[in-house]
Amino acid sequence: MNRSAALALDSKDSLAALRSSFELPCDQIYLDGNSLGALPSCVPERLRHAVEQEWGRGLIRSWNSSWFGASERVARRLAPLLGAHPDEVEVADSTSVNLFKQLASALHARPGRPRILIDADAFPTNLYMSDSAARWLDGHHFVDRVPAEQLFAKLGDDVAVVVLSHVDYRSGRLHPLAELTRAAHTVGALILVDLSHSAGTMPLELTDWAVDLAVGCGYKFLCGGPGAPAYLYVRRPLQVGLEQPLTGWFGHARPFDFEPGFDPAEGMARMRCGTPPVLSLLALEAALEVFDEVDLQALRQKAIGLSELLIRLVCERCGRYGIELGSPLDPALRGSQVSFRHPDAFPIVQALISQGVIGDFRAPDTLRFGITPLYTRFIDVWEAASRLSDVLERDEWKRFPREPEQTVT
Amino acid sequence: MNRSAALALDSKDSLAALRSSFELPCDQIYLDGNSLGALPSCVPERLRHAVEQEWGRGLIRSWNSSWFGASERVARRLAPLLGAHPDEVEVADSTSVNLFKQLASALHARPGRPRILIDADAFPTNLYMSDSAARWLDGHHFVDRVPAEQLFAKLGDDVAVVVLSHVDYRSGRLHPLAELTRAAHTVGALILVDLSHSAGTMPLELTDWAVDLAVGCGYKFLCGGPGAPAYLYVRRPLQVGLEQPLTGWFGHARPFDFEPGFDPAEGMARMRCGTPPVLSLLALEAALEVFDEVDLQALRQKAIGLSELLIRLVCERCGRYGIELGSPLDPALRGSQVSFRHPDAFPIVQALISQGVIGDFRAPDTLRFGITPLYTRFIDVWEAASRLSDVLERDEWKRFPREPEQTVT
């Protein structure tokens, strides 16, 4: 396939116009939207208004006129991306903090079951927080880490909750959430899923699949900005009697009555804790506008098309240099990310960045490319593969240090 | 005292020029900086740069060039305001979330002591979180709520931690932190103080007073913007072996190695949890510039001068209408806030707001006026007292509903 053929794919792409909703540097090919989503064009003006008018002029009154309503407005925009009812969604805190809340509420909802069953390759925070819940809460729980493919087999009636990263952040493997939810329910366990690497790239049907609990971050494919507030989902039937330990005043039924006792708000509002970071929250709210009217099925198909092209081109042109596919070959088993493996992945990624292609490295040997179908073009993928093959052919990566500096998911 | 005399006080005020560092609406007298601080003039441009350049153009690379360093830069700016070493300060999450971390770490550091001793009039989140820590952590603790003046007498060697709101959010009473810290230490207890209503208005000497743990919010007198990230302080000797349950990846010693086990970062970085809300964090960082070179002793003296004037004018002109002082008369016992009481406080505050004076109401009967010495002028206080007396004299408040709507601290 040549350059013109890639351009032809873009010209036939029904979602191509969405790219104009983003501010993207014209001299970069950005394949790291699974770390930090690009800037939606509507955000700068919204934030300028929030700072200068709402904070500067409105001052405290802007809580009533705009800010209090923000989390509900965000929930309404997030719900269709998750396949959830708006009253099943809340936005608050970070994914990490929300994991702790959800773990605690799950253990509380399934008393007498000591086991937390978790994918051993889950994102590290999921592992750390499961350990913390077992250690710091009542002390009657333990964590059972097993390879993802063994989660089904390891289910049992002593499991309180199964913790799953929907898409593996290294390999991009997409785990069978609906099936695992059904299996967990057959033994009476709950499921808690981290959607950070899937939401915004594919249709999700949390309510239909009867997923119990979910968390996810706002700054990857949702494009809410660096460290954007995270979200939580709890399915309706489980919200009755739901309790969690981070009982800040924003989760109170009547926060402005300043009552001495905690009476949790109705529904998902009880999953809030303290005052939200309003500026970051409003950036996320504005960013989610981009998804209005987007057909998630079409988005997923485009992501698959882009990923298939990247895999084909890289395998054709770079296989001879020792690059191997690190993601599942079957697109149905892959999120919106393609990973390759190479012993010198780190300097290769650095060389590629110097050539204007931004992907990232994950230790020890993974080159990771995020595919954001909202703004990634077929020509971007073609160029990325082409520059990767140049970097390898010319040994350009050998000019870069072999040891990593800090990078971020 | 007449208007000219108030203007004369402003003309002699050595801190008067600081007001020009803020964007304040010219048609409002803003006495609610203890709910939400005004907008520092440097913030809009900093945020514009953060959004358009750092996020929009720098994308993921801005983590290395700017964002990772932000919490350390904020800690360096906060430290002198707290009388702490920079390595005793961290910025993360909300005050509520940080209270949970600090309570858990305190209970962990004082094993075998079942009692959490707390001021019964503490800010509600402090009460709720203490209850949650007792209920959700190992279950061997209980909360003892006593009036603040009894905290000394109720100390005992079964107390793990004393929880104090430095300034009472309703009455403005300033509690004797240094003395209570000494008393707590005599029985081996720790002290955890919430500085939300004091930091930024008076000199604090956390290190010298040997205060153990502190939290506080960034959006009141620190002017960091709505829901700005909060901070934590832990004194150096207590940082050895410090542990807390919210073990997100940002608190790991090597977050970018994505290790399966949690190894806490050195020092205060272990009090971080998830990815911080960067836009809100950068607004706080810029806002704290305002405090560079500010003499905290002079700031405190100005706050006292403003408060004394407000009390004197209101008592002279409004006493006949049933307005009573709700704050301590002695300025040494008062934070940077003056409260008055009246059975119809709510409609009176509403009427005052309609006259361009923004204070706030706290149930059941408190009119609350925040004094922010960075930007509040003597003429503002004079005008506020004058308009309050007009509102009362003309019964203007009777046109307003007697029941409160939502307001925010």
pLDDT tens digits for range B24-56: 999 999 999 999 999 999 999 999 999 999 999
Percentage of the residues of chain A whose pLDDT score is greater than 90: 96
Tokens of A295: 């057909």
Tokens of A89: 């969604």
The per-residue pLDDT of chain A, averaged, comes to 96
* Residue B405 confidence (pLDDT): 62
A56 touches chain B (CB under 8 A): yes
- The mean per-residue pLDDT over the stretch A323-328 comes to 98
Whether pLDDT at A409 is above 80: no
Nearest to B274 by CA among A352, A115, A365, A226: A226
Query: B-chain residues within 8 Å CB-CB of A259?
Result: 124
* Residue A392 confidence (pLDDT): 97
**C-alpha dihedral, A284 to A286 to A288 to A293, nearest 10°:** 180
Query: B-chain residues within 8 Å CB-CB of A405?
Result: 64
* Residue B408 confidence (pLDDT): 52
By annotation, the residues of A acting in catalysis are 123, 194, 219-220, 368
Nearest CB to A132; choose among B247, B260, B363: B247
Is A95 in Cβ contact with B97 (below 8 Å)?
no
B95 touches chain A (CB under 8 A): yes
Tokens of A373: 């179908």
* Residue A1 confidence (pLDDT): 86
Alpha-carbon distance B29 to B47, whole Å? 26
Q: Which residue has the higher pLDDT, A254 or B406?
A: A254
For residue A52, what are the CA distances in angstroms to A40, B25, B46, B374? 20, 11, 12, 19
Q: Are A367 and A361 in contact (CB under 8 A)?
A: yes
The per-residue pLDDT of chain B, averaged, comes to 96
Tokens of B103: 């309570």
For chain B, helix (H) and strand (E) counts, in that order, are: 13, 15
Alpha-carbon distance B335 to B312, whole Å? 17
> How many other C-beta atoms are found inside a 10 Å radius of the C-beta of residue A43?
27
Binned at pLDDT 50, 70 and 90, residue B342 comes out as: very high
| Active-site residue, from B77, B101, B115, B220 | B220
Q: Which residue has the higher pLDDT, A138 or A85?
A: A85
Alpha-carbon distance B12 to A402, whole Å? 63
> How many other C-beta atoms are found inside a 10 Å radius of the C-beta of residue B11?
9
Nearest to A143 by CA among A133, A157, A152, A155: A133
- The mean per-residue pLDDT over the stretch A318-328 comes to 96
In B266-348, beta strands by DSSP E: 324-325, 337-341
Q: What residue has token string 């004058």? A: B386
Binned at pLDDT 50, 70 and 90, residue A51 comes out as: very high
Query: A-chain residues within 8 Å CB-CB of B59?
Result: 25, 28, 30, 32, 36, 38, 358
> How many other C-beta atoms are found inside a 10 Å radius of the C-beta of residue B380?
24
DSSP state, A174? B
Is A139 in Cβ contact with B97 (below 8 Å)?
no
Whether pLDDT at B166 is above 50: yes
* Residue B1 confidence (pLDDT): 86
Chain-centroid distance of CA B17 in Å reads 23
* Contact map slice: A 188-217 vs B, CB within 8 A: 217
Binned at pLDDT 50, 70 and 90, residue A408 comes out as: low
**Helix or strand or coil: residue A191?**
strand
For residue B242, what are the CA distances in angstroms to A93, A368, B138, B210, B232? 23, 35, 17, 16, 13
* Residue A403 confidence (pLDDT): 80
Residue of B nearest to A361 (CA): B256
Is A227 in Cβ contact with B279 (below 8 Å)?
yes
Residue B387 CB partners (closer than 8 Å, separation 6+) = B29, B352, B355, B356, B357
- The mean per-residue pLDDT over the stretch A5-21 comes to 98
Residue of B nearest to A66 (CA): B226
Is B43 in Cβ contact with A47 (below 8 Å)?
no
The dihedral built from the CA positions of residue A127, A130, A134 and A136, taken in this order, carries a sign that is positive
Query: What pLDDT, in 10s, does the model give residues A205-231?
Result: 999 999 999 999 999 999 999 999 999
For residue A358, what are the CA distances in angstroms to A56, A368, A379, A407? 37, 10, 15, 12
Alpha-carbon distance B218 to B225, whole Å? 7
Could you tell me how many CB contacts below 8 A there are between chain A and chain B? 316
Is B63 in Cβ contact with A406 (below 8 Å)?
yes
CA triplet A269, A274, A278: central angle to 5 degrees? Answer: 90
Query: What pLDDT, in 10s, does the model give residues B194-214?
Result: 999 999 999 999 999 999 999
Query: What pLDDT, in 10s, does the model give residues A267-310?
Result: 999 999 999 999 999 999 999 999 998 999 999 999 999 999 99
* Residue A406 confidence (pLDDT): 56
Whether pLDDT at A181 is above 70: yes
Whether pLDDT at B317 is above 70: yes
Binned at pLDDT 50, 70 and 90, residue B138 comes out as: confident
* Residue B285 confidence (pLDDT): 98
DSSP state, B265? P
* Residue B409 confidence (pLDDT): 47
Q: Are B397 and B348 in contact (CB under 8 A)?
A: yes
Alpha-carbon distance B260 to A80, whole Å? 33
Looking at residue A51, its amino acid is V
Query: What pLDDT, in 10s, does the model give residues B53-78?
Result: 999 999 999 999 999 999 999 999 99
Query: What pLDDT, in 10s, does the model give residues A346-361?
Result: 999 999 999 999 999 9
- The mean per-residue pLDDT over the stretch A354-379 comes to 96
- The mean per-residue pLDDT over the stretch A99-117 comes to 98
Binned at pLDDT 50, 70 and 90, residue A139 comes out as: confident
B194 is catalytic: yes
Nearest CB to A406; choose among B62, B68, B132: B68
| Active-site residue, from B270, B368, B377, B387 | B368
- The mean per-residue pLDDT over the stretch B241-266 comes to 95
Q: Which residue has the higher pLDDT, B264 or B138?
A: B264
Percentage of the residues of chain B whose pLDDT score is greater than 90: 96
